[in-house]
Amino acid sequence: MLNSFSLRRTFISAIQTTYAASTSQLVFKGRTYCDFPETSQMDYEKKSEETLSKLADYLDTLPDIVPCDSDYDVNYSMGVLTAKFGRDIGTYVLNKQSPNKQIWLSSPFSGPKRYDLSSSGRWIYKHDNQSLHELLEKEFQRVFKTGKKTCGDSTSVPAPMKDFWVSSCFAVILVVGCATS
């Protein structure tokens, strides 16, 4: 029977496999644990709505900041954010999964991922411990063809994105801010 401690502690599979020289047996190498606090439904709804709403607002401003495909379109409705980057790149879909208290991402580059709210307030993919904003930053560097990760402090962020920067919702704005420098 599971106790409350084991329910709060999430097992992340980090099984490394090796094969013995003479056999093909799976060898268990270790476990990794991460703490994901129990989040109330109200806190989840507030944080997920804030995250998706601010990301939608940010993505809406992209055509004013960097060149975008003529097919570029962003739509956010009823907990589903769809960002069409054009035929050559593809479509990002992020949506709330309230029963699981997760944000799900479908990316044209990395495929589907499910993010949980960590104790630090970041959305983390448990299988690789990468945050949603880290993945989007990496992928948007690819989309906008920039290798720069940061532009420094918030004084270098263009005015239309100032509120987004201050909210610390996503670091992805740094990439686009660099692309326009």
Q: What is the pLDDT of residue 143?
A: 83
> pLDDT-based confidence at 91, cuts 50/70/90?
very high
Q: What is the pLDDT of residue 58?
A: 87
Specify the higher pLDDT residue, 68 or 2: 68
Q: What is the pLDDT of residue 95?
A: 96
Q: What is the pTM for the complete model shown?
A: 0.64
pLDDT tens digits along 136-178: 989 988 887 765 543 333 333 344 444 443 333 343 443 444 3
Rounded-to-integer distance, Cα 138 and Cα 40, Å: 30
Place of tokens 């990496």: 138
Q: What is the pLDDT of residue 156?
A: 35
State the architecture of 41-179 in CATH terms: 2-Layer Sandwich (3.30)
Specify the higher pLDDT residue, 111 or 167: 111
HSE-CB for 18 with a 13 A CA cutoff: 6
SS3 sequence of 78-124: CCEEEEECCCCCCEEEEEEEHHHCEEEEEECCCEEEEEEECCCCCEE
| pLDDT reading at 13 higher than 50 | no
pLDDT tens digits along 27-76: 444 444 445 668 889 999 999 999 999 999 989 988 888 888 889 999 99
Q: What is the pLDDT of residue 62?
A: 83
Domain ranges of the chain: 4-35, 41-179
Question: H or E element: which one contains 5?
Answer: helix 4-8
